[in-house]
Amino acid sequence: MNGPHDMGGMHGMGPIPIEPDEPVFHTEWEAKVFAMSFATFCHFFPVDETRHASERMPPGDYLSSAYYERWLYALELLITEHNLVTPAEIEQRMAELAQGE
Amino acid sequence: MAIETSNECMSVAQAQALLQQGVDCRGVGDHPPRFQTGDKVRAKVIHPITYTRLPRYVRGKIGTVTKVHGVYVFPDTVGQRLETKPQYVYSVRFAAQELWGPEAAAQDGLYLDLFDDHLDAT
C-alpha cells in the first residue's frame, strides 16, 4: 500500500522531536492500548495484520495522530473486522466512559 | 496455507520472556537461497493496494546482497491473513546515490531487509 506510513525521502515534515528522557508510556491509556494490542495479536491476529490495519488509517488522520492513537485505530479496526466487538459496542462504551461510568 | 492462530492465551511469564529476550522466528528452507552475498538485485516496481513491506523509495533500484538472513514468513501475505509463503530474507545495501541521486554522499548506503518476492535478479 502506498500509504502515509511510507515516508522515506518525504520532505517538509519538520524535524523529528526527540525527548531526552522519553518515558515508555506518556499516559496510562497508552499502556492500556499496548496491553490490549498484545493480548489480541498474540491470541487472534498475526502481528503483521496490526501493521496493515494501522496503515489503512485515513492519511490525514494518520499524519496527525500520535503513535499509540494509531495502535488504537488498528486494534478497533481488527476487533470489529474479526467480529469480536461491534462498532456499536465501542460507541456505547465510549458514551459510558464520557459520563464517568 | 491458512494462518493458524493459537487458542492458548500467553501467560504473564511467557509474555515477559518474549518482551525481554525476543524470539527467533526463522523457518527452515527446503531449497537454497536464490541470491548470495555480493549479488546485485533489483527491487521490484510494485504498487499493491493491499500490504507490502517494500518501501516506495527503493522500487526499481539496484542494490547488493550483503547477508542471507534465512527463511521467514512473508508479511505481505500474512498481514492480509493469506498464506504464510515462507521465503528467504536478505540484507540489501543500496548506495545513497542510487536512491537519492548525486546530491547524496558517495560513501553512504542504506541497508534494507527484503524478501525474495520483493527482488529480481539483475
In chain A, where are the structural domains located? 28-99
Give the model's confidence band at B2: pLDDT under 50 very low, under 70 low, under 90 confident, else very high.
very low
| Rounded average pLDDT over B94-104 | 97
Checking if the pLDDT of A80 tops 50, the result is: yes
Helix (H, G, I), strand (E, B) or coil at B119: strand
Compute the distance between CA of residue A93 and CA of residue B18 in angstroms, rounded to an integer. 31
Closest by Cβ to A38, choosing from B15, B48, B100: B15
The conformation of residue B57, written as its DSSP 8-state character, comes to G
A81's enclosing H/E stretch is helix A67-81
Checking if the pLDDT of B3 tops 60, the result is: no
* The pLDDT of residue B18: 80
CATH topology assigned to domain B25-121: SH3 type barrels. (2.30.30)
List alpha helices for chain B, DSSP H.
12-21, 75-78, 96-100
pTM: 0.86
* The pLDDT of residue A41: 74
Top residue of B14, B78, B84, B115 to mutate, by most chain A CBs within 10 Å, is B78
Compute the distance between CA of residue A78 and CA of residue A85 in angstroms, rounded to an integer. 9
Compute the distance between CA of residue A81 and CA of residue A73 in angstroms, rounded to an integer. 12
- Cβ neighbors of A86 (< 8 A, separation 6 or more) are A80
**CATH architecture for residues A28-99:** Orthogonal Bundle (1.10)
Minimal C-alpha gap between A43 and chain B (Å): 6
Checking if the pLDDT of B7 tops 60, the result is: no
Cell, residue A6: 511510507
Checking if the pLDDT of B84 tops 50, the result is: yes
- Please choose, from the candidates B23, B5, B62, the residue with its C-alpha nearest in 3D space to the C-alpha of residue A41: B5
Minimal C-alpha gap between A61 and chain B (Å): 19
**How many percent of chain B have pLDDT more than 90?**
74
- Cβ neighbors of B71 (< 8 A, separation 6 or more) are B26, B27, B28, B29, B86, B87, B88, B89
Of all residues in chain B, the one with the smallest CA distance to A35 is B15
The conformation of residue B27, written as its DSSP 8-state character, comes to B
Are A55 and A84 a contacting pair, CB within 8 Å?
no
Instruction: Write out the E strands in chain A.
Output: none
Distances (CA, A) of A82 to A13, A39, A44, A76, B73: 35, 15, 9, 10, 22
Distances (CA, A) of B38 to B21, B80, B117: 32, 32, 18
**How many percent of chain A have pLDDT more than 90?**
81
Cell, residue B61: 533500484
| Rounded average pLDDT over B8-14 | 75
Checking if the pLDDT of A74 tops 80, the result is: yes
